[in-house]
């Protein structure tokens, strides 16, 4: 019983240490904050190029970045902040006019 508690405490201390070590990286480097959702990209067959004139910039799910050409997000691809405005996936839906 005592050994189980010690092992759990050691694991907890390791996890906290790793989390604390990552904080400065996230705070000082904006690229570290950016993220891709590889599983969703694969499931949706995401590509960085338009398909038959259809691109993320014309999709209802696209969350634009700071400029028209900068990377943005997608309502379908949760947590992904590197969606190209000229990208495409099978979930493309025309943006309402
Ligand atoms: S659903 Fe697909 S096409 Fe539409 S913004 Fe997201 S990744 Fe781009």
**Ranges of each domain in the chain:** 1-33, 34-97
Ligand 1 centroid vs 92 CA: distance in angstroms? 5
Of 3.90.70.10, 3.40.50.920, 4.10.490.10, 1.10.8.60, the CATH number of 34-97 is: 4.10.490.10
78 confidence band (pLDDT: 50, 70, 90): very high
Protein residue whose Cα sits closest to atom 6 of ligand 1: 74
Taking the centre of ligand 1 as the mean of its atom positions, its distance from the CA of residue 23, in whole angstroms, is 30
73 phi/psi in degrees, rounded to 5: -120, -175
Residue 61 Cα to ligand 1 midpoint, Å, equals 6
What is the per-residue pLDDT for 6? 64
88, pLDDT greater than 50: yes
- How far is it, in rounded angstroms, from Cα 42 to Cα 6? 41
pLDDT in tens, 31-74: 557 899 999 999 999 999 999 999 999 999 999 999 999 999 99
State if residue 59 touches ligand 1 by the CB under 6 angstroms criterion: yes
Is it the case that residue 9 has pLDDT exceeding 80? no
């Amino acid at each position: 019983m005592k050994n189980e508690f010690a092992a759990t405490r050691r694991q907890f201390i390791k996890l906290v240490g790793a989390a604390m070590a990552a904080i400065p990286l996230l705070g000082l480097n904006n690229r570290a904050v950016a993220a891709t959702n590889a599983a969703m990209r694969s499931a949706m067959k995401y590509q960085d190029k338009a398909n038959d004139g259809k691109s993320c910039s014309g999709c209802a799910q696209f969350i634009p970045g700071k400029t028209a050409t900068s990377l943005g997000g997608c309502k379908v691809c949760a947590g992904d902040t590197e969606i190209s405005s000229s990208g495409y996936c099978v979930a493309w839906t025309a943006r309402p006019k």
